[in-house]
Structure formats: structure tokens, C-alpha cells
A and B are shown apart, each in its own frame.
Chain A
Amino acid sequence: MIKLSDICYTYMSDGPFEKAAVKNVNLTLNSGEFIGLMGHTGSGKSTLIQMIAGIVKPTSGKIAIDGQELYAKNCDMRKMRFKTGLVMQYPEYQLFEETVFKDIAFGPSNMGLSEDEIKRRVFFAANLVGIGDELLEKSPFELSGGQKRRVAIAGVLAMEPEILILDEPTAGLDPAGRDEILCKIKDMHQRLGITVILVSHSMEDLANLTDRIVVMNHGELAMFDKTAEIFKHSEELKRIGLSVPQITEVCSRLSEAGFPIAEGIYTVEMARAEIERILKSEKS
């Protein structure tokens, strides 16, 4: 469980350029949940995930992971940081090793694991993201963009984090590359039972994957609810520079026009089933 209590983060505090990036955020995320995090640029999402990952220390407030408070006197920060894996934006820019194998092994090697355990983890992580064994001895720079990104994600997975945070893992990928990565993430979440926090600008992707969604606006927590509930607030989302999936917009317009469609539809498949049900029952 991740519990944030009154978290604040201020850049350049006490100076002329002081800027509050995160203000008084209270949030409790359960273990094993698939959480979506959205907000416009500058809303504080990146600062928030960096604080959860133990990279940025809150200016005030407390973060507890599974009951252990970060930065407390008794807290082993090194151990806590291994609990959380953060995949940053464009993580493929961070690949640096001679071979894919060595790159994925970098994290686990730093954890002081045995050679055998490192090897097991590299194969396991590569397999999870769909990087075949034949690619492991190649240079990471010979791979395609989508493959490089999956190798970078594998490097984080090989540390076997209990909480996996991904900051826009599909940015810049084409639809096929995007679907491939998201499918792997969904699969990992189900197979490993880990907590996933996915930062995304794509309402469609968040709609398809998440259990609950956190919405940030100007450093504050604007909404936090089940995915279906969040997308019912299309006006509010638009006001803060976000949107709802196109399909949700279609359904609310249909409802306004007098079509007896159920509320809370946010995927194409849900809409198809519901519209088909109504149109076919009218027929008979």
C-alpha cells in the first residue's frame, strides 16, 4: 500500500523563483492496483511519481510504502528504492551497455545478487517484454525504437519491483508499438500481481487498462476515482486541459439525443455491445 499524507513539493523554495509543484496531496493506493495518472504538462505528475519512487524528497508531508515511512530515521532508503521501479520518459535514451543482456543486468548487478540470480532475472525480464534470447547478445543500439524501449523497461523489471511506475511509456511510438508495450504491461500486472502506476496523456489507453485514475491539476489532486466514474466528468476534465475518450463523448451525445444508452461507457467494445443490444432489442 502506498500512502501519501499532505505531500508538498516546492522548487527553489525561499527564492524569487519559488514554485509549488505539488500541493497537499493525500492519496492511498492499494497493492496490486492498476492506477492511471493524468494531468496536463506542469500539473505535478512527474514530481509526484519521483517522490513515490524515492528520488525526490517531499518538502513536507509523509510517504509510506507498506507501512514504512520514507526518509524516516529507521528507513533503509536503498532497500525502499528497490521496491519501486520507475521507467522514465524515453527510457531508451538511457541504454548504454555493449549488449542487451548487460544492459538489463545492470540494475540487478547493483543489487548485489549472485551471477545465477542475475542471469535468471535477465531472461525472465526479457521474456516478459517479448525480447527474444537471440537479441540478448546484440548491441542495444542495433534494435528498433520499440525494441529499445522494451529493453529499457526490462532493465527496471529485472530488479523485480513491487511497484512499477511508467511515465508515458508509449510516447512517440506508432499504434502497433503502443499496443505491444501496453499489452506486455497488462500481462505483467496480471502475472506478477504488482502495483502499476501508468502516467499517460492517452485517455483511450487509460480507459482500456486502469482500475482507478488520479487526476492532477496545477499541483493539486483534482480527482481520484474508479475509471468509469472519472470519465463521467467530461466537462471538468476539459476545463483542466484533459479530455475523455472519443467513444465516451459519442455515448454522452447519444444520451442527450434520447438514445437509451447506459452511463459510464469508456471503451469501443463496451459501446458496441450496448448499442447492439439496444438496436437489436428494438428490432424484435
Chain B
Amino acid sequence: MDTNTKDTVIDVNNVEFLYEETDTAQVLKGITLNVRRGEFLAVLGHNGSGKSTLAKHLNAILVPQTGNVTVEGFDTADENLLYKIRQRVGMVFQNPDNQLVATIVEEDVAFAPENLGVPQAEIKKRVEYALDAVNMTEYKEHAPHMLSGGQKQRIAIAGILAMKPDVLVMDEPTAMLDPVGRREIMETVKKLNREENMTVVMITHFMEEAAEADRVIVMDHGKSIMEGAPKEVFSRVEELKKIGLDVPQTTELCFLLKKSGLDFDANILTIDECVNKVMSVYNSKGGATND
């Protein structure tokens, strides 16, 4: 993909950050990366790798102490641009219960556009659009606290969509959800990315989720240490394990079989790829039972 400025929505340039001057270690140590228009970018890293701190830099909740971050060319350090930046980059956090403010779903979704001074008729349209995009229209008159975790998180996403942002940043949005809730969020995010062309940045430590992204950045000790398509990144099994991360079971299986001296590679990601690979090795050794 082209990396010139036209395609870059967010540019993070050599950012350093520490919370308190007395902190012994910096949280971000000169990280540089960009977010490209229309992509689904996953940021992987263990607890304490700096990934949430990075996320907060993407819409000026935090501003860099050294280096700079620009959103559509706007510098996040310029306080006058704060509204412009936050309208363009919306953030969803881990705990859905901390993000819902109203007692009725549609009022909750309308909260941000109301604060932005959007006219009433337009708000109505946006709320309808946002609830439809996360597949929650039938719950518009429900009370948020009666919904499941996955549904609540989808309402939080709808609340961001109603601002019509350019980028959706999500900081471990599935960490507190069950498998069904996690699936709901992943389906929603992928649909938004594909059908609505929404740029998505997803911070996670679930490698299954990162495996579904277009591009993965791996963070460790406040730096980006790997970057590439999920296939390339996950094939580096030993390096990932060394920094406390996992790879999909399929990748690990092929990696172990390779180590056992069989004709395998660790660039296997999906179940289909893994099954096909085993079958092709099996057939090439004359073990085929069918033609």
C-alpha cells in the first residue's frame, strides 16, 4: 500500500511519553507509525507495552512530550484544534459500563452529536444510521444496562459512529466480553471497515483478532518492534513468545512440525491453510486415500 501523506490519516512521529517525571521507565520510547485511510490496523502488545498510552495519543487525550502526532494534518498538541481532532478520531474503551451515559439506547447514541451542536433532524438521521450499522436498531428504546456486554459495547461504538469520525480507535474492546460478545464486536468492526470504509485501529492482546486485520503492529516496551501483514508477523513465533504474546494454534502447530523436521512453514494462519498444508504434505508422501 502507498504510504504517502495523502493516504495517511494519523501520523505518529517519534513520540516519547512518561506519566510522571519520577517514573523510571518511559511508557512510549520514540514510537513512529502511521494509520492509513480505510485500513483495519491491529496493535498487539502485552500489558504494560504502552499500547493504551499510544491509543490515547491518537485523539489528543494525551499529547506527546517529545515528537508529534497529526490527525488529518492537525497537530494534537495544538489545543485550538482539539474539537476538530476528537470529531475525526473516536475512541471505544474496554469496559462498556463506563461509556454509556443515558438511560435509553437512542439517547445514549445521540449524546455526542448533541454536544457537537448538530441540528435535531440530522441527529435523528445519524442515530438511525449508527444503530443500523452496529445492528442494534431493534433495541433503540431499551435501557442500556439491561443489554449483554457485547450489545452494550456495540452501543458504545454506535455513539462514536454518530459523530461521523474518520477513524475508530478501540482499546481492547473485547477484553471483558464472552466469546459470543467478542464475535459480535469483530463482525461489527469488520463490516464497518469493509462496507462503510471506516478506518479502524484496534488495540488488543487477542491474536485471533489481530489475525483478521489488514496490518499488525507489535509493541514492546514503548516501541513498535514488528509491523506487517498478520501472516508475516505471526510467522515469527519464537520472537512473539519471547515478549509474552501468543500465535494462533494453527501457526504454532505448523511451527512445531517444522521443528520436527517435516516440510512445514510457520506462515500458516487459518484453519483452511493448516488443513491444506497437512494434506499436501501427506499426499506428497503417498498417503493419499482419495484421488
Contacts and interface: CB of A to CB of B under 8 A. Distances in A.
A42 B61 CA distance: 35
Contacts of B48: 144
A250 B253 contact: yes
B279 A254 contact: yes
Interface in B76-113: 94
A269 to B, nearest CB: 8
B257 interface: yes
Contact of A40 (B45, B47, B180, B282): B180
B256 A249 contact: no
B67 interface: no
B286 A201 contact: no
Interface string A38-49: 001110000000
Contacts of A239: none
A16 interface: no
A176 B253 contact: no
Task: Identify the interface centre among A257, A260, A283: most chain B CB within 10 Å of its CB.
Answer: A257
B38 interface: no
A130 interface: no
A253 B179 contact: no
A145 interface: yes
A259 B245 contact: no
B268 to A, nearest CB: 10
Interface string B181-218: 10000000000000000000000010110000000000
Contact of B281 (A174, A268, A279): A279
A41 B147 CA distance: 11
B285 A279 contact: yes
A97 interface: no
Contact of B47 (A146, A246, A278): A146
A42 B148 contact: yes
A193 interface: no
A177 interface: yes
A201 B150 CA distance: 14
A250 B249 contact: yes
B25 interface: no
B205 A246 contact: no
Contacts of A260: 287, 289
A173 B176 CA distance: 10
Contacts of A241: 178-180
Contact of A268 (B94, B179, B244, B249): B249
A275 B256 CA distance: 11
A279 B279 contact: no
A171 B287 contact: no
Interface string A158-202: 000000000000011111110000000000000000000000010
B275 interface: yes
Contacts of B274: 250
B178 A278 contact: no
A259 B252 CA distance: 20
Nearest to A42: B148
A135 interface: no
B262 interface: yes
B149 A41 contact: yes
B47 A174 contact: yes
B275 to A, nearest CB: 5
18 contacts: A144-B47, A172-B94, A172-B176, A173-B47, A177-B244, A247-B253, A250-B249, A254-B275, A254-B279, A272-B253, A272-B257, A275-B253, A279-B262, A279-B278, A279-B281, A279-B287, A280-B262, A282-B286
